[in-house]
Amino acid sequence: MLHLLQRRLLLFGGKGGVGKTTCAAATALAASRRGRRVLLVSTDPAHSTSDVFERPFGATEQEILPSLSGLEIDPGAEARQYIADVKARATALFKTSINTRALEQIDIAGSMPGIEDAALFDRLADIVLTRAADYDLLVLDTAPTGHTLQLLRMPASMAGWLRALAESRRQMLPDDRTATDEIIAALDARIARLDALRTRLTSHRDTAFVLVLIPERLPLDETVRAADQLEQAGLPLGGIVVNRVLPEDAGGAFVEARRRQQQVYLSEIDRRFAAAHRARIAERPSDVHGVDDLAGIAAALFPATTVRS
């Protein structure tokens, strides 16, 4: 899994409760201790990244440790800011032609389902495209798999929709006005931004998706579906992390029964993901909390190199 530490963008996904936040945090810690400047971003509404570090951080970038900063995105706050920005852009574009009723309709749209996803996507795009230059590595701890994959499909679908709007606008205007039309310019700028984001997400050199699971049937089935969807979308799978594997030296009849059951799924994981980089993390006797615990997870993920303290 050492190749992950050389990427520019890592996204950790998986079914809720499998330990993806721990793995994302441990990877960010490992990279920072190897001298890389890292930004760890949480898009999961549960926001346990600051909990696992035992160091609170929030909606603005904040240093957690040397070379490691953290950021937790609040979808509700992002949605409110998103609507405010939409109203400001609409007012600037349409000037006096936009009335109070139209602005009220924008406010109503802000309460509809999906607006938080759109706002979250917009913030992620901004981070990936504008903040990446200030860091060597961005690590994204994402929401549960289905929601994350829906977000990742947005660049292609939104770009297609915006292209149709831009083309419709061009057909409405005389040829001599299309080059200077502010609305067309705004749509084209948005399309270019989406294209740039998709280029980043599909870069096999710079980007990797890491799927985290535990050796049980439901997480395994969900991970198989997620890997298939990533492949269909052209998004690079960088590795599979199998968390909470029972240690070899754990004993007792109950543990032995659980180990036999786990082995069935471990074998199936190895078979289904034979072409993928894989790592296993042993079940720990207590919850993961604090930098020392995270360093232990990092050592399991990246055991072949030393780190500076």
Residue 72's CATH number: 3.40.50.300
Domain annotation covers residue 15: yes
Mean pLDDT calculated for residue range 128-140: 91
Q: Return the minimum-mean-pLDDT range out of 20-24, 41-45, 51-55, 230-234.
A: 41-45
188 closest CA partner among 213, 162, 214, 207: 162
DSSP string of 47-110? --HHHHHTS---SS-EEEETTEEEEE--HHHHHHHHHHHHHHHHHHHHGGG--HHHHHHHHHHT
pTM score, two decimals? 0.82
Between the alpha carbon of residue 126 and those of residues 41, 43, 120, 213, 297, the distances in Å are 12, 13, 10, 29, 30
226 occurs within a structural domain = yes
Q: Are strands 68-72 and 62-65 parallel, antiparallel or unpaired?
A: antiparallel
Examine residue 86 and state whether it is found in any structural domain, yes or no.
no
pLDDT of residue 133: 87
CA distance 104 to 59: 27
Q: Is 280 part of a structural domain of the chain?
A: yes
pLDDT at 45: 64
- The owner of tokens 């909470």 is 244
Q: What b/e sequence results for 202-215 when a residue is b if at least 16 CB atoms lie within 10 Å of its CB, and e otherwise? A: beeebbbbbbbbbb
Segment 234-281, tens digit of pLDDT: 888 999 999 999 887 777 888 888 888 999 999 999 999 999 999 999
Domain count, the chain: 1
Query: What is the DSSP pairing of strand 68-72 with strand 137-141?
Result: unpaired
Domain assignment of residue 87, yes or no: no
Radius of gyration of the chain (CA): 22
Distances in Å between the Cα of 168 and the Cα atoms of 26, 94, 181, 184 are 48, 17, 13, 10
- Domain presence at residue 275: yes
**3-class DSSP state of 38:** strand
Helix axes 217-232, 253-272, angle to 10 degrees: 20
Q: Check: CB of residue 269 under 8 Å from CB of residue 220.
A: yes
Identify whether the C-beta of residue 29 lies closer than 8 Å to the C-beta of residue 68.
yes
Share of the chain above pLDDT 70, in %: 86
The answer as to whether 69 is a domain residue is: yes
Cβ-proximal residues to 272 (8 Å cutoff; 6+ apart), any chain: 220, 224
For 212, the enclosing helix (H) or strand (E) is strand 207-213
Q: What is the pLDDT of residue 144?
A: 65
Residue 101: what are its φ and ψ, rounded to 5°? -60, -40
Q: Which of 19, 21, 16 is nearest to 281 (CA)?
A: 19
Q: Domain of 276?
A: 2-78+112-255+265-290
Which of 29-38, 141-150, 254-263 is predicted least confidently?
A: 141-150
Q: Is 178 a residue whose pLDDT tops 50?
A: yes
Please report whether residue 88 resides in a domain.
no
